[in-house]
Amino acid sequence: MMNSASGTFADLYNGGSLYRTPIYGWKGDFNNNQPHQCWFFQRMSLSSAQVNTVIKNNTHLSTQYEGYQTDGEYHWQEIWNTTGLSKGNKKWRREIFDCDDFGLRQRVQLLNGKRINDGLVLMLGRKPGAAHAYSFTISDDHAKVVFFEPQVNKFMDDIGYDAYLAYF
């Protein structure tokens, strides 16, 4: 990436491609076009107001839900792995370890102080005769809500429940 005002460039250290590789800069020109220099920045976070707008535009969610914002950035895969849910050692058991426990276990992991980087939050929803706890995040293009079912490690566009409470 070039800063046209200063004529300087930014790239990943030693052409690295791994997550959290440091960025370094140098003076130069576009004639040195290595494959590792062909990258771009993409905005990955949203303000609370922007998240609320995306949620309110989702046709699968009730507009009657109440949202509680807990600011932070989280990485869902790390959360999934550190909760123990990914190992399958937590099985659904009626009224003992059911859907809200799966969702809350993820939420607790978010709040335990680990430094993690992508949004995944808890939502409680209901439909006639049933209620459910699940997670949701905002799509990469920041245009829609994507639901995550922590019991089966699956993302979906419609979870099948109207949200009435969300922590994000």
Per residue, the 3-state secondary structure of 78-95, as one string, reads HHHHHCCHHHCCCCCECC
Domain count, the chain: 2
More confident residue, 87 or 96: 87
83 and 151 fall within a common domain: yes
Whole-number pLDDT of residue 56: 79
Which of the four pLDDT bands, split at 50, 70 and 90, describes residue 88?
low
What pLDDT sits at residue 114?
47
Residue 14 lies in domain: 2-37
pLDDT at 116 over 50: no
Distance CA 149, CA 2 (A): 41
Examine the domain organization and report whether 23 and 104 are in the same domain: no
pLDDT reported for residue 52: 76
Using pLDDT thresholds of 50, 70 and 90, give the confidence band for residue 104.
low
- Whether 102 shows a pLDDT value over 60: the answer reads yes
The reply to whether 19 and 59 lie within a common domain is: no
Q: Please report whether residue 42 resides in a domain.
A: no
Does the residue 43 lie in any domain?
Answer: no
Looking at the structure, do residues 97 and 120 belong to the same domain, yes or no? Answer: yes
What pLDDT is stored for residue 41 in this prediction?
59
Q: Are residues 21 and 93 in the same domain?
A: no
* Residue 71 in this model has a pLDDT that exceeds 60: no
The pLDDT value recorded for residue 101 is 63
Same domain, 61 and 144: yes
Displacement of CA 114 from its chain's centroid (Å): 15
pLDDT value of position 148: 78
Q: Report the distance separating Cα 96 and Cα 116, nearest Å.
A: 29
Domain membership flag for residue 114 = yes
More confident of the two residues 141 and 42: 141
**Would you say residue 83 has pLDDT above 50?**
yes
d(CA 163, CA 100): 13
Q: Does 128 lie in the same domain as 60?
A: yes
Q: Identify whether residues 103 and 147 lie together within a single domain.
A: yes
Do 33 and 54 sit in the same domain of this protein? no
Domain identity same for 33 and 101: no
Rg (CA), the chain: 20
